[in-house]
Amino acid sequence: MAVFKRGRIWYIDLLYYRGRRIRKSLGVTCKWLAEQIEAELKAKLVKGEFLGIFEEKTILFEEAVKIYLGYSQTHKSISAYERKISKFRVLLAHFPGKYLHEITTKDIEVFISKRKERVKPAAINRELTIFICLINLFSGEILKKILYNRLNY
């Protein structure tokens, strides 16, 4: 059973969804109610209704870069921010009009093979490092905070 209790509150520990394990507080103290909520969540997962929590966020790569650079401008030094801008120019030229979740390993391999013709491997590694930082920002807690602040102000 995927329902368990911590203190007085019941939690769920559901199946994996696209590489993620779903653990969540239900905020209830009654086991029967917790089991009902779990059954409802499982049914919605099967139907494809994800309660707005697990829906893929469709964000353009260009918009993601703008958000990342805004974050970087406030949290990094000026020189680091300027380096990121120059690296993102290269990435934006290669991934125009793509959604962030549409970028695949094959796309990145094509990017690497095209860049090998012009620059050294160290430059490619720096560009990929910036790309990985962007992906980490949008998969972690920082994105939730940014979006939360954006909605509340």
pLDDT of residue 151: 42
Same domain, 18 and 76: no
Q: Within a domain: residue 144?
A: yes
Number of domains composing the chain = 2
Domain enclosing residue 22, as ranges: 3-47
Q: Within a domain: residue 108?
A: yes
Q: Within a domain: residue 29?
A: yes
Q: Within a domain: residue 55?
A: no
Same domain, 83 and 24: no
pLDDT of residue 135: 82
pLDDT of residue 54: 46
Closest CA to 22 of 32, 10, 14, 11: 14
Same domain, 105 and 143: yes
Closest CA to 24 of 46, 43, 51, 57: 51
**Sequential pLDDT tens for the chain (153 residues):** 588 898 999 888 876 555 567 788 888 888 888 888 888 877 777 666 554 544 455 788 888 889 888 888 888 888 888 888 889 999 999 888 888 777 888 888 888 899 999 999 898 888 888 888 888 877 765 455 544 554 443
Which CATH number fits the domain that encloses residue 91?
A: 1.10.150
Q: Within a domain: residue 131?
A: yes
Same domain, 86 and 132: yes
pLDDT of residue 145: 53
Same domain, 87 and 130: yes
pLDDT of residue 38: 84
Q: How many whole angstroms separate alpha carbon 21 and alpha carbon 23?
A: 6
Same domain, 108 and 145: yes
What is this structure's pTM?
Answer: 0.56
Same domain, 78 and 105: yes
How many angstroms separate the Cα of 142 from the Cα of each of 43, 67, 89?
30, 11, 23
